[in-house]
């Protein structure tokens, strides 16, 4: 008979002669540990080398086999050890009780050596198979987690690279994408418990919104340098061209969506942000003139984040506003430019906005 590598069998019986018999039969093939009481069996089962199988006498004084079995199952350390009940009781009800409780097999005394060895070998082989499967499953879960993390990091790097591509066309934005991303996350987190927003702003949506936020100005790659880098005010015609960056951003993301077999959630949110972050609450924005709740939540949050950052940032055509001046301008746009509830949360979180701006301030 082949010996399963490292197999350990715990035999439990209050009668020394029964332990001697079981040990004599099993020791040529397995490592054998013994216990003469239920309490001792529980202690041995938790210690090294931990048994791969327990042969458990049912009729024992103090703590009988059924109670020992229940305690083994209740302990996470020993719950997975298979148990074969061994007893002189011959009633079918007793056998069923043990099997229904979860024992893997049932042996009646007097022991028939070939039957004992066959049953033990079968259960040890089954345990080895279960252990191998559990190990494979654990490896697969770890591999899936590793690849998901790798894909997630690839996605984040790709988003950041695309956002920086837009930045290179408009070098004055500096750390704009880092600041606006953090502003949006702050607003979304604080609004997640608000009655108007809680159905939308769950943890998954906030994650999608945060990672998509850097793509809000991706459409600027389609704006001519003469307009994008112009040091002074834009003419009316130039301004019309500049405003097309919202539509160009949506079109660029739609092209990316065509290359995948199924919808990608963060691209859907990115499209909302790129196309809607210049819409205004009163309907006077662009490109679609949306108003109120018709503007996607993601775009409403980005609208405030984008304007606040533009106000506090130096441009070739203007000096930066102070934080307090920018704060007052945002509050002045409550109900006209911005969703009133979003402005109220900005007001409450103003110190956080200032902290973000200072943490990611431009080098100049």
Predicted pLDDT of residue 107: 86
Q: What are the structure tokens assigned to 220, written together?
A: 């600027």
Q: How many CB atoms lie within 10 A of CB 93?
A: 7
Query: What is the rounded distance in angstroms from the CA atom of residue 7 to the CA atom of residue 4?
Result: 5
pLDDT digits (tens, 9 = 90+) for 65-124: 989 999 999 999 999 999 999 887 665 566 667 677 778 888 888 889 999 999 999 999
> Torsion over CA of 211, 212, 217 and 218, rounded to 10 degrees?
100
Tell the burial category of 171 from Cβ atoms under 10 Å away from its Cβ (0-12, 13-18, 19+). exposed
Lowest mean pLDDT of 93-107, 122-136, 338-352, name the range: 93-107
Could you tell me the pLDDT band of residue 257, with boundaries at 50, 70 and 90? confident
pTM: 0.61
Residue pair 207/181 in contact (Cβ under 8 Å)? The answer is no
Region 254-262: mean pLDDT is 78
Of residues 128 and 90, more confidence is placed in 128
SS3 call for 179: helix
What mean pLDDT value characterizes the chain?
88
Mean pLDDT, range 144-168, rounded to an integer: 65
The pLDDT of residue 2 is above 50: no
- Is residue 172 scored above 70 in pLDDT? no
Which range has the top average pLDDT, 69-78, 169-178, 309-318?
69-78
Q: How many CA atoms lie within 13 A of 108 on its CB side?
A: 7
Tokens representing 343?
Answer: 């402005």
- Looking at residue 183, its pLDDT comes to 98
End-to-end CA distance of the chain: 79
| Sign, CA torsion 231/235/238/240 | positive
Distance CA 85, CA 30 (A): 18
What are φ and ψ of residue 304, in 5° steps? -70, -45
pLDDT for 151 beyond 90: no
Q: Which residue stretches of 8-91 are H helix? A: 16-26, 38-46, 65-74
Total residue count of the chain as it appears in this document: 364
343: exposed, middle or buried (Cβ count in 10 Å: 0-12, 13-18, 19+): buried
Rounded distance between C-alpha atoms, residue 41 and residue 199, angstroms: 54
Percent of the chain with pLDDT over 90: 60
Superfamily of domain 170-359: Hypothetical protein af1432 (1.10.3210.10)
Q: What is the mean pLDDT of residues 294-309?
A: 97
Confidence check: pLDDT of 298 > 80: yes
Q: What is the mean pLDDT of residues 48-52?
A: 93
**pLDDT of amino acid 305:** 97
pLDDT confidence of residue 92 = 53
Whether the pLDDT of residue 50 is over 70: the answer is yes
- The topology (CATH level 3) of 8-140 is Rossmann fold (3.40.50)
Find where tokens 């089954």 sit: 126
Q: Where are the domains of the chain?
A: 8-140, 170-359
DSSP annotation string for 86-104: EES---HHHHHHHHHHT-S
Please state which of the ranges 33-42, 73-82, 124-133 shows the lowest mean pLDDT.
124-133
**Phi, psi (degrees; rounded to nearest 5) at 311:** -65, -40
Contacts (Cβ under 8 Å, ≥6 apart) of 136: none
Q: What is the mean pLDDT of residues 278-292?
A: 97
- For position 160, what pLDDT does the model report? 62
């Amino acid at each position: 008979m082949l010996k399963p590598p490292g197999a350990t069998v715990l035999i439990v019986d209050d009668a020394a002669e029964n332990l001697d018999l079981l040990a004599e039969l099993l020791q040529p093939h397995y490592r054998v540990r013994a216990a003469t009481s239920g309490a001792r069996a529980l202690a041995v089962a938790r210690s090294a080398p931990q048994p791969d199988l327990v042969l458990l006498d049912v009729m024992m004084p103090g703590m009988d086999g059924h109670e020992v079995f229940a305690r083994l199952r209740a302990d996470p350390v020993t719950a997975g050890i298979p148990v074969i009940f061994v007893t002189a009781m011959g009633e079918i009800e007793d056998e069923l009780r043990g099997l229904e409780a979860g024992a893997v097999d049932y042996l009646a005394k007097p022991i028939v050596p070939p039957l004992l060895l066959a049953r033990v070998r079968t259960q040890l082989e089954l345990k080895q198979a279960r252990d191998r499967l559990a190990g494979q499953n654990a490896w697969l879960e770890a591999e899936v987690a590793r690849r998901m993390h790798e894909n997630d990091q690839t996605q984040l790097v790709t988003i950041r690279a695309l956002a920086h591509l837009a930045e290179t066309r408009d070098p004055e934005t500096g750390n704009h994408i880092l600041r606006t991303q953090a502003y949006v996350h702050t607003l979304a987190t604080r609004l997640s418990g608000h009655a108007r927003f809680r159905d939308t702003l769950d943890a998954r949506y906030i994650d999608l919104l945060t990672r998509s936020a850097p793509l809000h100005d991706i459409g600027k790659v389609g704006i001519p340098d003469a307009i994008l880098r112009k040091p002074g005010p834009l003419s009316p015609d130039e301004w019309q061209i500049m405003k097309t960056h919202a539509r160009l951003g949506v079109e660029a993301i739609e092209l990316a969506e065509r290359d995948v077999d199924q919808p990608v959630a963060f691209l859907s949110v990115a499209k909302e942000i790129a196309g809607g972050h210049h819409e205004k609450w009163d309907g006077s924005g662009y490109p679609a003139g949306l108003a109120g709740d018709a503007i996607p939540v993601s775009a409403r949050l980005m609208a405030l984040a984008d304007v606040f950052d533009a106000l506090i940032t130096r441009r070739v055509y203007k000096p930066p506003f102070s934080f307090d001046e920018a704060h007052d301008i945002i509050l002045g746009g409550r109900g006209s430019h911005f969703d009133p509830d979003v402005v109220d949360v900005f007001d409450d979180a103003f110190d956080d906005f200032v902290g973000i701006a200072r943490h990611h301030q431009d080098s100049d």
